[in-house]
Amino acid sequence: MKLLRTIRLDPSDTFVFEKAAEPGEWAVSGAFVFWNTDAAALAGKARSAFRGGFLGVASLGWSTLVQIVEASSDDRLAVIDTLAKQLVANFGAPTIEDAVAAAEEEVAFAESLCSQPQDTLVAVHRVFEDGAVRETFRTLRPRAGQKPARAFSFLEVAGEEDEQPIEAVDLVGLAERERK
């Protein structure tokens, strides 16, 4: 079976969301967090979480992307157990039995998003329209073949013979010439 885990490709989640999920956490859609909330009134980081966040089950933090990964039945049960406890402690579930039933639904929905190959990334976009929360999901898969080169890399220069001349650019001078 496959489930969703949070992934952090860069530090942006730590700026975008009030609380970022830890990389590698089990995740669910998290739309239930906004139940009984006026989505139109959300602003700032709460709005970012509503519009494009997956909920990390352990931390209740948000992640822009999740990754489809292999999971065992024990993993699945652990996700349900953790989420059920979170529902009782933080979301007012009336009983643990009700929380387990809700957690099972959330995990089943997360499983339904895992029809793509392992390691596929998934992003969510949420809107509130016609009195309901609507979610759309898109997948991002690595291209087949060789991985692309990194945009930036660092090269260690050893020894004086390998040193490169320092290049200086006069930005002020360029700007003044541009104005003329």
For residue 90, being part of any structural domain is answered with: yes
Give the pTM. Answer: 0.77
pLDDT in tens, 78-114: 999 999 999 999 999 999 999 999 999 999 999 999 9
**Tally of domains within the chain:** 1
E strands of the chain, at which residues? Answer: 2-7, 26-28, 54-56, 62-63, 65-70, 121-129, 132-140
Say how far apart CA 93 and CA 24 lie, in whole Å: 26
pLDDT in tens, 6-45: 999 999 999 999 999 999 999 999 999 998 888 888 999 9
For residue 72, being part of any structural domain is answered with: yes
Q: Are 113 and 60 in contact (CB under 8 A)?
A: no
Say how far apart CA 45 and CA 80 lie, in whole Å: 27
Task: Name residues whose C-beta falls within 8 Å of residue 163's C-beta, 6 or more positions apart in sequence.
Answer: 157
Domain with 82 in it? 2-140
For residue 47, being part of any structural domain is answered with: yes
For residue 149, being part of any structural domain is answered with: no
